[in-house]
Amino acid sequence: MTTSAPTRIVILGGGFGGLAAARELERSLPSGANVEVTLVNRENFFLFTPMLHEVAASDLDLATIVSPLRRLLKRTRLFIGTVEEIDAESQTVTVAHAGGLHRHALRYDHLVVALGAVTNFYDIPGLAERASTLKSLGDAIQLRNQLIAQLEEADFECNRDERQPLLTVLVAGGGFAGVETVAAVNDFVREAVRFYPNITQDDVRVAVVHGGAFLLPELGQELGTYTQARLGERGVDVILNTRVTGFDGSCTVLSNGERIDARTVVWTAGISANPMLECLPCERSRGRIVVNGYLQSPTLPNVWAVGDCASITDPVTGETYPPTAQHALREGAHVARNIVAELTGAPKSRFSFSTIGLLAAIGRRTGVANVLGLKFSGFFAWWLWRTIYLAKLPRFEKKIRVALDWTLDMIFAKDLVQFGTQRAPTISRQETLSLVRDDHAHATGTISAAARI
């Protein structure tokens, strides 16, 4: 008796969309189904990116916003590695691990593309080589380490003339990521100054550069203007209608001709579709895969796309759905249900979703929000931000850890600890026999003398 080959579903990416697809497949597929689900991800954890700025600003411990994929997925096969090629003709994905030493060809019958977006520096001189980003856990740790390193260096008297560039932080981009980052960084640095005797509040400069007329354009001018006013009260310079045009590691050049001496520049002003999508011979819009209402490519029906990788037209507005986490979560689950429907012969359903709300934390227990058309600002919006994102965080254990961190943060000062990965000093040399004997005799004599006493 021969056993038929299983139907192979390969999910590329373990972010919001990819994880949602895998979890929904586990829920929807019967336990005995002849289906093999594989999730490919660069890291072995799911990263809750909305809280990255809180890790960078020492509000949260770095382990609280990551969840091991092997704890979240019970029936899904995991491949921790990088995607190197997608071959639609042979229906295979080439993935590598062990630093690229080992490569595997994963065959698929259905492919879910959820690789997310990548940072785009738009060929602005110096940014790719020197600017910080905030897309990964490593980015958050690197930014936190850099902020603390600049404070430590500036506190030395020998660096008196270098304090301005050392203590100036420039965030490029006035959207959600930029505003939440600049607010968290400003609070962190200004609170930390009291532990450095040679640094004053006047030495610190934190600025945000935005190309539009007001911050947070997704929330409208009213809340954007409110955000600008609150940040200004806390010492943040808001530079509008301006873009970064260059960065040489110590000086940032702006489109208005201004030059800002800053060693730390955080770039949040641009993303692009993952370049891996170019492997697929299907229609794309601004680099993203154009999919139909079922979230599948019209030219490659066994290829599905969600999140930042998908260009999906809203049937109500005719506009493209925004690439937000709340959309990616629902798109991933919807793709999973449609794949199951296709496997079982059931009718597929078209995707439709309206944004529930948009929220941003702007520091010092203040926030802005637009929920179901209602606008909020101040403490209530900040509380709403924390409540909703805490509810969305996977695993009860992580919710408790984050809630405890937030509570303790209201009582104690933020930690000024750099997380390094350097090895401790070591030595490897052969001692001469005579030195070893002398050391042994010295130690024996010391012990004997101590015994006599």
CA contacts within 13 A on the Cβ side of 6? 12
Q: What is the DSSP string of 211-232?
A: SSSSS-GGG-HHHHHHHHHHHH
Residue length of the chain: 453
The confidence score (pLDDT) of residue 432 equals 59
> Do 203 and 260 share a domain, yes or no?
yes
Residue 258 placed within a domain = yes
Residue 235 placed within a domain = yes
CA atoms of 301 and 111, how far apart (whole Å): 10
Closest C-alpha to 368, from 387, 386, 382, 383: 382
> Do 217 and 142 share a domain, yes or no?
yes
CA contacts within 13 A on the Cβ side of 59? 26
**In sequence order, which residues have a C-beta less than 8 Å from that of residue 204 and are 6 or more positions away?**
167, 168, 189, 190, 193, 235
Using the 3D structure, point to which of 224, 248, 269 is the last residue of a domain.
269
Tokens matching residue 354: 């309206």
- Residues paired with residue 288 on neighbouring β-strands, in sequence order: 285
> Do 223 and 328 share a domain, yes or no?
no
Closest C-alpha to 146, from 179, 175, 185: 185
> Do 197 and 255 share a domain, yes or no?
yes
pLDDT tens-digit readout, 202-253: 999 999 999 999 999 999 999 999 999 999 999 999 999 999 999 998 899 9
> Do 205 and 326 share a domain, yes or no?
no
Average pLDDT across the chain, whole number? 91
The confidence score (pLDDT) of residue 427 equals 87
Residue 396 placed within a domain = no
Residue 373 placed within a domain = no
The confidence score (pLDDT) of residue 414 equals 84
The confidence score (pLDDT) of residue 4 equals 83
Closest C-alpha to 167, from 184, 185, 142, 140: 185
C-beta neighbour count of 129 within 10 angstroms: 10
Residue 286 placed within a domain = yes
Tokens matching residue 352: 């439709």
Using the 3D structure, point to which of 269, 295, 324 is the last residue of a domain.
269
CA atoms of 237 and 232, how far apart (whole Å): 6
The confidence score (pLDDT) of residue 433 equals 53
> Do 140 and 179 share a domain, yes or no?
yes
Give backbone dihedrals phi and psi of 30, rounded to 5 degrees, phi first. Answer: -60, 150
User: What is the three-class DSSP state of 292?
Assistant: coil
Give the burial class of 279: count Cβ atoms within 10 A of its Cβ; 0-12 exposed, 13-18 middle, 19 or more buried.
middle
Strands 367-371 and 374-378: antiparallel
Residue 201 placed within a domain = yes
The confidence score (pLDDT) of residue 14 equals 96
Handedness of CA 255, 256, 262, 267 (dihedral sign): negative
The confidence score (pLDDT) of residue 410 equals 83
The confidence score (pLDDT) of residue 446 equals 46
The confidence score (pLDDT) of residue 162 equals 81
> Do 178 and 171 form a contact (C-beta atoms < 8 A)?
yes
What pLDDT tens digit does each residue of the chain (453 aa) get? 456 889 999 999 999 999 999 999 999 998 889 999 999 999 999 999 999 999 999 999 989 999 999 999 999 999 999 999 999 999 999 999 988 889 999 999 999 999 999 999 999 999 999 999 999 999 999 999 999 999 999 998 776 778 899 999 999 999 999 999 999 999 999 999 999 999 999 999 999 999 999 999 999 999 999 999 999 999 999 999 999 999 998 899 999 999 999 999 999 998 999 999 999 999 999 999 999 999 999 999 999 999 999 999 999 889 999 989 999 999 999 999 999 999 999 999 999 999 899 999 999 999 999 998 999 999 999 999 999 999 999 999 999 999 999 998 888 888 888 887 777 888 888 875 555 555 555 555 543 443 333
Q: Roughly what angle, to the nearest 10 degrees, separates helices 176-192 and 137-154?
A: 30
The confidence score (pLDDT) of residue 359 equals 95
> Do 204 and 336 share a domain, yes or no?
no
Using the 3D structure, point to which of 314, 344, 374 is the last residue of a domain.
344
> Which value, in Å, is the radius of gyration of the alpha carbons in the chain?
26
CATH of the domain at 249: 3.50.50.60
Beta strand residue intervals within 69-167, DSSP E: 77-80, 82-87, 92-97, 102-107, 110-113, 117-119
> Do 207 and 312 share a domain, yes or no?
no
> Do 219 and 179 form a contact (C-beta atoms < 8 A)?
no
What percent of the chain has a predicted confidence (pLDDT) above 70? 94
The confidence score (pLDDT) of residue 424 equals 84
Residue 419 placed within a domain = no
Query: Which amino acid is present at 146?
Result: Q
The overall longest dimension of the chain from CA atoms, in Å, is 93
Domain that includes residue 194, residue range: 127-269
> Do 197 and 291 share a domain, yes or no?
no
> Do 219 and 282 share a domain, yes or no?
no
> Do 246 and 145 share a domain, yes or no?
yes
Residue 431 placed within a domain = no
Give backbone dihedrals phi and psi of 189, rounded to 5 degrees, phi first. Answer: -65, -45
Number of domains in the chain: 2
> Do 90 and 105 share a domain, yes or no?
yes
